[in-house]
Amino acid sequence: MIKIALAKGRVASEAVKLFKEIGIEFSDYDMNRKLILRDSSNQVEIVLVKPSDTPIYVENGVCDCGIVGKDILLEDNPDVYRLFPLNIGKCKMCVCGFKGERIEGRKTITAASKFTNIAKNYFDSLGIKSKLIKLNGSVELAPLLNMSDVIVDIVETGTTLRENGLDVLREIEDIYSVFIVNKASLKMKHSKLKPFMNQLKKLKLGGEK
Ligand code: PRP
């Protein structure tokens, strides 16, 4: 049995479709609120977790592998193998704010984000001293309520920004899902994991060129 941690929501839905393409079916996915599901051939178990917790389950070895956004890997730098990118979970990490908000030439900036490490590294690279405010969601509120100059956040369709009168000011990084594996599992379960990973890899890969 291979145990795989998947971020609940869009990534899990897209991953379940990928698994179907390689003949692994979860017929009860989305039918109930179960958090652990087994495929019809009893070979793979998916564990549905909060996105930012995905690497924690893999790092601790309770899941052999996981599918997680590059955003979370960059932010938390978990001790797992990052094996290959997948063609799902595509979006961009951006600096956003009110149109015309200046970034260049600033000495300091206040930024709200779920990704304060990514934000700090980015502003450091520009030589701007940043004050970071860590939020766990609805980050767009920060500039609207004048709590920060900008936000550093994921932009997928741009709808949330548009509907809140904000814009992309800078693109920091392309984000996509990455297949990660627990270091011990890769050795201990190699014979089971290898064919599964090879099949997934054969699907059209995204991310790194
Ligand atoms: C993410 C992100 C943006 C939004 C971007 O939030 O933080 O708010 O999605 O997507 P869009 O460009 O397609 O509008 P999420 O939906 O995960 O909710 P959260 O604010 O609770 O983190």
Q: What is the pLDDT of residues 158-208, one digit of tens each?
A: 999 999 999 999 999 999 999 999 999 999 999 999 999 999 998 866 444
pTM: 0.93
Helix or strand or coil: residue 112?
strand
The mean pLDDT of 92-116, rounded to a whole number, is 96
Atom 10 of ligand 1, residue of closest alpha carbon: 156
Is 34 in contact with 28 (CB distance < 8 Å)? yes
Q: How many residues does the chain have?
A: 209
Nearest CA to ligand 1 atom 2: 154
Do 149 and 97 belong to one domain?
Answer: yes
Backbone angles phi, psi at 91, to 5 degrees: -165, -170
* Residue of minimum CA distance from atom 22 in ligand 1: 137
Say yes or no: 52 and 114 in one domain: no
For residues 115 and 55, state if they share a domain: no
Query: Looking at residue 67, which CATH number applies to its domain?
Result: 3.40.190.10
Percent of the chain whose pLDDT exceeds 90: 92
What mean pLDDT, rounded, does the chain reach?
A: 95
Closest CA to 170 of 92, 115, 107, 79: 92
User: Has residue 146 been placed in a domain?
Assistant: yes
What is d(CA 38, CA 24) in angstroms, rounded to the nearest whole number?
10
| Domain encompassing residue 83 | 2-90+176-202
Q: Tell whether 65 and 166 lie within a shared domain.
A: no
Number of folded domains that form the chain? 2
Task: List, for residues 40-55, the tens digit of each pLDDT value.
Answer: 999 999 999 999 999 9
- Residues 24 and 86 grouped into a single domain: yes
Dist CA 91 CA 71 (whole Å): 10
Closest-CA residue to 54 (of 19, 112, 3): 3
Same domain, 85 and 184: yes
Residue 71's pLDDT band (boundaries 50, 70, 90)? very high
Q: Is residue 208 part of a domain?
A: no
Residue 31 lies in a domain: yes
Same domain, residue pair 160 and 60: no
- Indicate whether 207 belongs to any domain: no
User: Residue ranges of the alpha helices (H) in 22-86?
Assistant: 54-59, 70-76
Nearest ligand 1 atom to alpha carbon 91: 12
Question: Mutation test of ligand 1: which of 160, 161, 167, 172 has the most ligand atoms closer than 8 Å to its C-beta?
Answer: 160
**Position in ligand 1 atom list of the atom nearest CA 156:** 12
Query: 186 and 150 in one domain?
Result: no
